[in-house]
Structure 1
Amino acid sequence: MRKRSLSAQIFSYFLIVIVLSVASLGVVSYLQSSRALDGQVEQYMEQMIEGAAYQTDIYLQTYELLSNAFSSNSDVRAFFEIGAEDSYEYYYYSDQIRRFALSSVQSIVTLYKQLNAIYVVGQQGRAFIYDNQNFLIQDTNMVSEKYNQLMSLIPSNGKIVLLDMSLRPEDQGTVVTMARKVRGAAYDEFKGIVAIEFKLQELAKIWDRVNIGKEGYFFILDESGNAIYLPPNVNPGKDALKELSNHLSTSENKVFTSKFNGENRMFVARKSDYSKWQLVVSMPVEELRKPISTIRTTTIAVGLATLILALYLAYRFGRSILAPIRELKDSMRETEKGNWQHIEEIGRTDEIGGLIHSYNLMVTRLSQMIDKVYAAELQQQKDALQIQEAELERHRAEFQTLQMQINPHFLYNTLETINCYAIVQDSHEITEMVEAMAFMLRYSIQTNLEEITVANELNHVRNYMIILQHRIDREFEIDVIIPPNLLLEKMVRLTLQPVVENIFQHAFPNGIEPHHVIRIDAVKKNGLFQVIVEDNGAGISLERLQALQERLKLNRLSEEEFANGNRRRGGIGLMNVHRRIQMVFGEQYGLQVESVWGQGSRIILNMPEQSNHIKL
């Protein structure tokens, strides 16, 4: 597997983190901005068309007031009742209408600069016309076909209707006509029409106040889907208008996007409650998306610039870290070869500078230490061998010396007793003592490290007691209460008999009495195997007990004390046992002496639990 350098790893990690961060931020920002802008655009266009539609309705309702003023005038109603050939009444009522307009309507009419014409037309073919400049009191000779056409388009309930037509051919397509049927003076039936024409271009100025973009426009469709108003230079064709009208009539969504004249555009429509017209605003999707495209382009540009700058900084950062590390690596390789190469400290105070300083200090100290080690290595090896040999010999000699420190007086007295028996009488006691003595000597002089059990030590004590009973000429039994399962536990050779002998020498200074008892027990507890020897003799004084415990603690075995030129033997046998247990099992084991003056003593041999082998 190919190993990647640390610089490549750092650069890769920086690249991944930066790309993920920039990409995530850019995508999230773009999507959120797009949604927000789309919502704002739709909301803006809906508010815009609501406002414009409201203004348009107010605009149309104002013309309705003007139409109501003419429709309810009594002279206008009387005008519809005159005969077709009655010129006098025609001129009379025309003059009355003119006076009405001049006196009470002129102040309103002057407010409507976009007014194209006002018509008062009777079914008899007589008409009164105001063309926003003059009152024309003349017979227009309107044909019955034109009048009948208007009457068929206007509802019979007297309501106003908006028509995409003009009574004059030259104004056709540029005006909208607001017309209504009017009853005659007798109010019996409809006798005429009052119509007001206003210019579509002037109506479109309402929308000029609304910002619908450079390529945006609005148009008006009637209930049948016919175009009432189209902006200049826009000719979508009947099929496009029909498709748009069908969508508006079948879909509840009045904000939608569709192809229109080969261009993808957004439409927002609203139906006027007053005129029932469909007021539609249209803007190119591309123009609406232009801020989003700008955000996308800006995000990509800023992201790329940020990425390039971040990668450059990552490269510089990685190089500033890795250059001294590579130098340190090369120097350590030379150090492995034995070339103590120092690195020039370049005045860095950061962690890498501290690492270089520590490396130089290490190289200096190692070079000094290696010189000393090479010079002393051979001598140290020789000294180590000599020390090992001397230590082994010391332990061996010490062990043998300790093992041989058995009371010689006991052997001398035993031989003397045997000699006396041999002279006085010829009995089996001599044989018994000789056999016991032989076993003891054979057991005592062995120096090999064969396994010694509690049973072996008890047998050695038994031989000792056989000889002792013949010496003191009285029987004395030792109570052994060791559980049978502990008889095969391991012990050190010649440790139990010296303890028993020490009791006979010191615990019964006035001789053995019938009440005297020596008891041997063994237990396991707290990871220790303990052999306990206790008596009910004289005990040890507090001063001697403390001195003995101190010597056991300090392991003062080789020190010999002399008084008046004679060797003092107090406690030497116990120290012998204590040291041999420690030499076999370790310094944490050995003897433990407890005593109460006048009540007896208790000596505990502490050894490890479940020891399988005795080791020197």
Structure 2
Amino acid sequence: MKPSLSRELFFYFLIVILFSLSTVGIFTYLKSSAAIDKQVEKYISTVIENAGAQTDLQLETFERVSNSILSQQSVKQFLDMDPKDSYEYYHFTKTIRQDVFQKIFITYPTQIHMIYILGDHGLSIFDQNQSFSSMTVDPSPRYEELKAKTPDNGGIAILNTALMDGERVVTIARKIRGYSSYAVKGILAIELNESELSTLWNNVDLGENGFFFILDAEGSVVYSPDGGTRSEVASTDLGQRIASGGNTRFIEKVSGKDMLIVSHKSGYSSWSLAVALPLDELREPISGIRSTTITVGLATLAIALFLAYRFGYSIVRPIRTLKNGMRQTEKGNWIRIESKRRNDEIGGLIHSYNLMVSRLSDMIERVYDTELTNQKTQLQLQAIELERHKAEFQALQLQINPHFLYNTLETINCYAIVQDSGEISEMVEAMAYMLRYSIQTNLEEVTLANELNHVRNYMIIQKHRIGHEFEIEVLTPPSLLLSRMVRLTLQPIVENIFQHAFVDGFETRHYIRIDTRLEDGELLVIVEDNGVGMTEEKLAKLRKRLDRNRLVEEAAASHGRRGGIGLVNVHRRIQMVFGDEYGLRIDSSLGEGTRIVLRMPSEVRLQWRPELELMNA
């Protein structure tokens, strides 16, 4: 997609609008959320403090009730009686129930569940509100429990345990001294109905799923709305954290929901009153603010984007008109732009463009006439220069006429036949073929078969030079014989092997192998020998010369023989035809031989390059 000014304007407007709306929306949402959270926390803290004060007041009331019981003379005398006197036990039981307990039950008919006195002598008096029973339960374990948990100074202890298992009560207990001595003689316990505590919260709106619960100083549940909450708090460290933290506020998962826990620690009873409110209900107003903010923001964004589109279009439309006019100018059509008159910067730009077109049209006509005259002059000069080059080329051709060389070699061949010298005749004929093949300049019609035939003629001459035949092993499939190659690339490599690989003479174990194959879309011609090979230093220098991608000048080699000149030139010839990714790859080990790979593309028609002609010439 091509860059467009209208898209860029629209994109930047979109960024500015989104940034503004998101900044305002997020800031408003965060501030509103913080304000609502603060108000909720303040409301819950006030509620829980008031409820805690009411709870403490109610507990203080029942502490005063316990004081009134302890002040009764009959109660203290009961603790000093002889436990074996059953009549006296009956008398005190009846008196205390009628004169003490019943009056308290009348005053607090719903709050008190049971009142009982446990004596150190093993006797006890029980009275249950509105339902008297003989109470067959053994009070001894209860007496030991209350004795251990109540203070010795006569202060009250508030417990969440009951005399009867399964009763949900709150127990206010304190130690009682006897009538005749200051020693502790028993325990007074008042069991309050746990449900009466919930009346303190009836007028408090805790939401649909909110609830409160009370913990004692050790973190055990004194009151909770249901048994599930009691067991869940007991199975975790939530109660201990609330009891040890004083006034706390944190988020906890209760009954599978994220709840806001706010607690208040009572200074009177050391209880912790806690409220649990679901976060989703607390944040429902915040969700409404978020939905409203998003709705208003999207509507504002749509309107703002529409206005941005209209504004951008009003700017881009005249620019597109100016662009189309410039395209016509590029094509040589000097056309003025006709548009509504505008007094802004774009109107001034269109006016300047029309003025420029008028002036450039006149100047181009004058320049065109001048250029046409200059081109005619240049053509005349080029024609003269071409004629001069043709004359120089013909002169050079006359100086090096290959027909003279062909005729000379044919004459030598005739003398050799007359003299019955087959060796000379064979050498001259092979030399004539090689010369004719070498001086041809048509590089595009060379095949692998041509190169192998050129190597064969070279081996004919080489046979007479070394005095015996040396056969080259050719492993080329017939299907690759017509593969196209660069002229004069294979014979220089074979010649290089004779000059450098077999410097100490030829032995029967020596061989030269030419292998041809196709790999990964490349034609690989592999020439191997088992000669002396090269040292790592010499191989590195040769590879460095190949990497230079330059032909070796004859002048550089005229001062003496330098190894690798033919290889470098073959490497560069292949690169000049097929590209720098092709050429020679050389591997060699000292004493083991050398492997040279000619890499060329497969089934690619060679392209003529002038530098090849110059090099071949």
Q: What TM-score, normalized by structure 2, do the two folds share? A: 0.48
Q: Quick check: which has more Rg, 1 or 2?
A: 1
